[in-house]
Structure formats: C-alpha cells, structure tokens
Structure 1
Amino acid sequence: MRIPEGRIKPLRGRGMYSSAQLAFKYVKYWLTASNGKGHGIHSPFVFDFINNVLNDKREFDSFRFIENVRAGLRDNDTEINVPDFGAGSRMQLHNKRKISAIARSSLKPKKFSQLLFRIVHYYKPKNILELGTSLGITTSYLSAANPSAQIITMEGAPEVAATAKNNFKQLHLSNIRVIEGNFDDNLLSVISQLSSVDLAFIDGNHRKAPTLDYFCQLLAAAGRSAIFIFDDIHWSREMEAAWGEIKAHPSVTLTVDLFFIGLVFFRTEQKIKQDFVIRF
C-alpha cells in the first residue's frame, strides 16, 4: 500500500483532519475497500467502470504534454496574488504565493488527473463544469479527453486564472472557457447558460454548506447520465458530512468512494440505490 504522493499533508483550520488522522483513515479505507478488480461487485455498470475506466492503463499522448506543463509550474517561482475567500465568506485577503508552491500543494496528482481524463474519454459528456480551475492541470485533462466537449471552469483568483489560461494556450486547448469570481456569486448564472450539466468536478470551497449548495444548484441542471465528482470527501468532518448527505439524496442512485474523490451518478434505470467503496 502506498499513500498517493502529495495528498496526505499537514492541514490547518476549517475543521480539517490532521496528517496522522488522514493517514489512519486512508489505511482503514485501503484495508476495507473492494479490491478494485471488480470481484464481488454486483453491479454491471460499476463492474464496467472498474474494468474500462478505473483500471485502464493506456497512456495517451496528451498525458505527456500536460505533465510537462505541470513540471514547468513546479519550477516556476513567479509570485502571484491569491485571494482567500475565507472558506465560503466573501472576505478576500490577498496573499502572495509562488506558482511552484501552488503547483506542489494544490494540484490533483497525476493519478487522479488521468482518471478524470479516462472518465471523460469513456463516457463522452458534452457539457463539463469545473469548480476550481487552479493552474488548469485538471482542466487540461478534461479538455483533452473530449475536444468536442464544452468545458467551463470557474476560478476565484484572477492571477491564478491567468496562469491557467496561459497553460491552455501552450497546450493548444480551444474548448475551455474560464469564468472568474466567487462561485457563490456566479454559479447559478453559469449553469443557466448550459442546456445540461453532463459532468461536474467540484474542487472549490471544501466546507459542508457551500458543497451542498453547489450540489443542489448543479442538480437542477443535471443531465440524465450526469456524473458529479467531489474532491477531498474525507478531508474533514464537514466534507464527510456533506458526502453523506449527497449519497442519501433521493436523486442519487449510485456512488463510488475512491477516498480522495467521490463519484455520483443519477442513473434512472437503476432501481436500487448502491454505494461502493473501491480501492484505487
């Protein structure tokens, strides 16, 4: 067992678990989750997901290009302003941070970024909404996985968004639109511009109330085969509580818990609600 690089780190404030608590939770997850090979999974849909998405070992050309950009970000010591929206408040305290520090602490690791790619590549969602662009690495994977999709990504920090846009230009990705500003102010407006939300990746305000607000707002526009992906579902008691309420929502028919992310499906053809915890 190996804890994914960069995901167990010291946490402060916002009710987050300590590094030791997270490590203990991860070990427990690893020992009790389904083995990730599909054995004993009594759901054809999830069995197919495990075999054709979770365990797809193919390397795509775009992986190398995007990871080269990530490497450049890790070496970039340019300082930019990063406003702190105060865990859901409208406070905007500006902090100077190096791009390299953001790249090392805030970006989704390659393993999970490439899983997002495979999800989009396999299920082909047309309208993709990302809450939390950061430096644009996950956005780039979402975009490259289905160039015909419309990608809207939302970022609260203008200088972070500008860096992401430069990365998209470098990668020649043309199906991405960046919306700047606080999610609380403009999410409903963005959703109203879409015929449906076919895939949403929520990696923004990691608190219970905002997370549930985003879920409810997105739910109103969810397509029949929509997939919602929530980041950091076990990083705090609040996020675990939010994840529990999302799983229990009557519109949700299937969930997959991969510890660091949680997947939500709304398959109306599925008559029995099912929740899976799968080792990844």
Structure 2
Amino acid sequence: MNKLNAWAGLLARYLRYYFRAGTKYGVHSPFVADWVANVLEDTRDYYAFFSIEGLRQTLSRSGRRLAGNPGGAGYFSAPAGGPSLSYLANRVAVPPYVGQWLFKTALWAKPKSMLELGSSLGISTLYLGAAAPRAQFLSVEGWREAAELAAAHCHEAGLANIRIVHGNFGEALPQLLPHLAPLDLIYIDGDHNGFRTLEYVEQCLPHLAPDGVIVLGDIYWSADMAEAWKTLRQHPAFRVSIDVFHLGLLFPRAEQKEKEHFTLIRARRKFWRVGIWR
C-alpha cells in the first residue's frame, strides 16, 4: 500500500506539473531561451550517448547483487538481498533523456569545475564528464560498492578528470568543498530527502560560482522533495529557476533584478501551444 500511495502521489504531482507547464513559445528571457534551445529542445545525438547507453545495456543484463547499504532516500522497492546491477541500471540510474539533458546542460554551461552528489553506477557521472572532459570533476557516492563500480566505469571510459569519493554527503562536503575551485555546476541526486537536500544546497552555496548552476534531480520524487524544491525556488540566492519535472535548475544570476521561475515542457508534448496558445 505504501508503494502504491507513493506512485499515486508521484502521478498526481506530474499531472499538476504538466497542466501548468509552458513551452519554448512562452519564454521571453534570452538567458532561459538559450538554455531551452541548447538543452530542452535540442534533439542532436552525440557519440558519448551511445557508449554510455551501451554500458547501461551491459549492466541491465547483470544479475550481480551489491552488498552494503545504499544510504539516502529514494528506493521505492529495492529487491530483498540487495539490488542487482540490472535493477540499479534500469530503475535507479538516470534515464537516457535526463542523462542527455545533463550532458547538454554541461556542454552549454562550459564548466571548469563540477560536483556531483550521488554517483550511483556512474551513468549520470559519465554524461556530465563526457560533456566537460577538461573540467575538475568530483563525484561523491554514499554507497561504497557503487562508488567503486562508478570509478571503474569512468576509468574504462577514459575520463581521467573524474574523481569518485565514497562518503556521507553531509560529512564529506565540509571536508571536500574548501579544496575545490568555485563550482560552475553542481548536480545533487543522491538522497531524495527534502530536508537534507536543503542542507546540501546551503553547504554548497558559498562555493558556487557567480554564473554557476545547481541542478537537482527528482524534484517531485516525494512530497517533501517537492516542498524542498518550492523552498529553493524562493531562496534569495537564486534569481532564475527552471522546472522540467525530472530536474530543477537554480541560477544565482545576481545581475538580474527580478526573480523568474519557468515550468517548462518540450513543445512536442504540448504541440497545440504555439503562438497565442503558448
């Protein structure tokens, strides 16, 4: 029953998002329109996509189970005895289209320094790292067995700029952040607990570059994650926020006087919203 209620709640949150979401035709901010054109509406495929999805296919055929405690929140129904690589690749790792949004956001932002909270098997890590192979990139994973696999996958992909660290986010951040360059892109997706997500953002904020971006994964995973997203949209440190349901993006943009929030969906999913019907 709890699982059913969780999925019902997620569906209700998606429907609310869908009905209020606008399309590219209603975006008048040049900054956001540029992101929409280069990320949300960009249909180009890159060579990296095929190699990363090839890895996912390999993992999805593996029945190997990982021992240990995943930690964090966000597993509706991990199988008894520990989740298999197949389960993690198909149910926990970012889906291909979200991975592509991450890749294209990094390609668009041109970060020199990135931080990820939640490596899992390294699928999202590879998408980000492939888009910015020269960036200093630190990824933190709370599950030791997953962190070791993610590091191996990054090594096999030839992305030497990625460093995977095992550790609890709340404990690791104070030790790691002071040694990092100002962060141009921060991706938080390893603990779907709203209260802790707010804490991670507050810890990272002093280290975010003025023109940087914080990307949050699964902002509607639960009621408390949705509430955390609402709180962050209203945070005085962020002048621009973008909601595409699976991801939320927060931009400081201190030079912008007025706060702006955009709830967006690909135009093809609301094909009738063009011109005056946007």
TM-score (normalised: structure 2): 0.89
- Residue aligning to 1:270: 256
Q: Secondary structure at the match of 2:69?
A: strand
Aligned partners of 1:123 and 1:246: how far apart in 2? 21
Q: Does 1:224 align with 2:210?
A: yes
Q: CA deviation at 1:165?
A: 1.7
Give the deviation of 1:169 after TM superposition: 2.1
Cα drift, residue 195 of structure 1:
2.0
Does residue 187 (structure 1) correspond to residue 187 (structure 2)? The answer is no
Residue 198, structure 1, aligned to residue 184, structure 2 = yes
Q: CA deviation at 1:194?
A: 0.8
Say whether the 8 Å CA contact 1:191–1:197 is kept in structure 2. no
- For 1:17 and 1:222, the matched residues in 2 are separated by 37
Match of 2:32?
A: 46
Q: Deviations over 1:9-55 (max 9, x none)?
A: x974xxx96222322321332232002xx212121111111112211
**1:53-92, aligned counterparts within 5 Å?**
53-85=39-71, 87=73
Q: Secondary structure at the match of 1:244?
A: helix
Structure 1 residue 85 displacement after superposition: 3.0
1:33 to 1:87, Cα distance in 2 relative to 1, 3 A: closer
Q: Which moved more, 1:217-226 or 1:166-175?
A: 166-175
Matches of 1:184 and 1:224, distance apart in 2: 23
Q: Which amino acid aligns with 2:9?
A: Q
Which residue is 2:271 aligned to? none
1:153·1:178 contact (CA, 8 Å) conserved in 2? yes
Q: For residue 59 of structure 1, report the CA deviation from its aligned partner.
A: 1.0
Which amino acid is 1:195 matched to?
A
Q: Contact 2:9 / 2:222 at 8 angstroms: preserved in 1?
A: no
Is 1:172 aligned to residue 152 of structure 2? no
CA distance in 2, matches of 1:48, 1:278: 13
Q: Could you give the per-residue CA deviations for residues 80-136 of structure 1, whole angstroms, max 9, x where no partner exists? A: 114143649xxxxx9522111111110100000011000111110111100000000
Which structure 1 segments of 5+ residues have no match?
Answer: 1-9, 89-93
Q: Please state how far the C-alpha of 1:61 moved relative to its aligned partner.
A: 0.8
Equivalence for 1:248:
234
Q: Indicate the SS of the match to 1:125.
A: coil
Cα distance in 2, alignment partners of residues 193 and 57 from structure 1? 37
One-letter identity of the residue aligned with 1:146: A
User: Within the alignment, does 1:134 sit opposite 2:120 as a pair?
Assistant: yes
Q: Could you tell me which of 5, 13, 16 is aligned with 1:28?
A: 16
Number of residue-to-residue matches in the alignment: 261
Corresponding position: 1:143 with 2:152:
no
The CA distance in 2 between the partners of 1:21 and 1:80, in whole Å, is 29
Q: Is the 8 A contact 1:131 1:153 kept in 2?
A: yes
Query: Whole-Å Cα distance in 2 between the matches of residues 186 and 28 of structure 1?
Result: 36
CA gap of 1:17–1:127, structure 2 versus 1, over 3 A, is farther
Aligned-partner Cα distance in 2 for 1:48–1:33: 18
- Aligned partners of 1:83 and 1:95 also within 8 Å: no
Cross-structure match for 1:156: 142
Tell me the secondary structure at the aligned position of residue 62 of structure 1.
Answer: helix
Q: Does 1:18 align with 2:6?
A: yes
Give the number of the structure with larger relative contact order, counting CA–CA contacts within 8 Å between residues 6 or more apart.
2
CA–CA separation in structure 2 for the residues paired with 1:136 and 1:183: 16
Paired with 1:178 and 1:223, the residues of 2 have a C-alpha distance of: 21
* Secondary structure of residue in 2 paired with 1:102: helix
Q: Which amino acid aligns with 2:109?
A: Y
The letter for the 2-side match of 1:29 is: Y
Q: Could you tell me whether the CA contact under 8 Å between 2:151 and 2:163 is conserved in 1?
A: no
* Deviation digits for residues 197-237 of structure 1 (CA, Å, limit 9, x no counterpart): 11111002211221111010100111011100111111212
